[in-house]
Chains A and B, each alone.
Chain A
């Protein structure tokens, strides 16, 4: 089967979720990658290691305009005769995959967590991670967007050919005025380790201990909704049902009760550590490791322990 994988190469470095998408595609058939942007030829050739036979790159535009990308992917689909089109379900994939689905009249499975099962259905998370659903696609071709961090990239091959091509991307009707990328901060949706604080930390002046631990771990920081709503922390740190949904390897929650709406955004985490004074806090039921204690003492102690661990490893 011919598989087309769109990857975003608008940043200097190709992100891990691109390798995940190519690896996923390779499980289904012969992979051609389509991209635009600025990653250089040698970086793109590396995608061969994850199973791509060929990379087609359109150098005529660098941006992430969803209408241009839709035309690019449609052109590449026609050219390769792809039967399955794969995206990563990141912010670009979320905007482009639905458009491609309509343009080519193909069913879309958004947020797949694994390859198709024996019965052909594709698994994904539903009800904000509280359950799994299995989707059947009733069109000959399929569009699948793969949930980031749910599929491990595998290096199996060697570098592949990179070809320039014209994707007939056309013009963008959207003008970019400004792009702000906070320096030094680890973006929450991609972070592998996250330290998060809730109302139990009493006030914004106490976040130093959260930041210290995060810095020692190389983790991103997050918070519960009331903490963002009262302005203790910026909005983009709010995780949960109505905030960002994350699936890091490690989620450390201090002073958060574990309301069902909070859990909905973090229950995809591989390992959860909860620090709470109240042993009855519902979060302990969702935790792997629990510390019944005062965050004001436990967090600094944990930071010291991590420091010690790093020094001896």
Chain B
């Protein structure tokens, strides 16, 4: 089975969010980047498990600049066979999806796995866009993925419940919690990752259709109102009359 996993970088989850240049740019000063958790924990690990069970290969693809190489090496350390970086700055989902589609079009991947969303822009857009380019079904927010022969069986979150669906490969799948367990790379993996192929491909120059032009931080929360733990009637009264949520 030939599997492609889309890997993006994201600011470490403890990053303090700030903006520069008159609030038009994310302030990257001191920001540590990690592999987007959904891509690493769920998409990549499930891809590796499927390869271990059925044979084949796991390739990662990233649209990004050389600044992304460290996170790509981390994915290789966890166990991907090789990596491709499409050499351009990722600007919006529309452009990213088109670049990945252009690369993947003639490669006959059986499965393309993505994370549920990137944790910085939380768009959840690339997967559906990519599937439309490839004219393949898109199973979004999958929490389970099994493959038998050329048929995939998946559980996916739907409004108010869970659905079990089946589809023939090839397929695009976005992966949510439940899909796999996080794997911590070991020393051997980290050493091996250094010599695994990371191929840099030219970008096709896909259009960007959206642009973040400014940012704002929420107004600081007003001081917490402390309630006597003995007096829950007061809390209920405040939630009713002051906060108006009961």
Contact = CB atoms under 8 A, between A and B. Distances in A.
A138 B208 contact: yes
Interface in A66-108: 66-67, 70, 90-92, 94-99, 101-103, 106-108
A156 interface: no
Contacts of B245: 193, 249-250, 270-271
B128 interface: yes
B223 to A, nearest CB: 9
Interface in B205-246: 208-218, 221-222, 224-227, 229-230, 232-233, 235-240, 243, 245-246
Contact of A96 (B126, B128, B243): B128
B215 A174 contact: no
Q: Is the interface of A mostly helix, strand, loop or mixed?
A: mixed
Task: Give the size range of B's interface with the partner.
Answer: 35 or more
Interface string B91-134: 01110011000000000000000000001111111111101110
Given A127-B120, A131-B17, A132-B216, A99 B224 contact: no
A238 to B, nearest CB: 7
Contacts, number: 260
A205 interface: no
B215 A126 contact: yes
B100 to A, nearest CB: 12
A306 interface: yes
Given A95-B138, A98-B129, A103-B132, A289 B160 contact: no
Nearest to B212: A133
Contacts of B167: 173-175
B70 interface: no
A164 interface: no
A109 B213 CA distance: 13
Contact of B140 (A91, A103, A242): A91
Given A241-B13, A285-B221, A136 B213 contact: yes
A116 interface: no
A44 B123 CA distance: 30
Contacts of A209: none
B40 to A, nearest CB: 11
A24 B64 CA distance: 35
Interface of B: 11, 13-15, 17, 19, 37-38, 41, 92-94, 97-98, 119-129, 131-133, 137-141, 143, 153, 157-168, 177-178, 208-218, 221-222, 224-227, 229-230, 232-233, 235-240, 243, 245-246
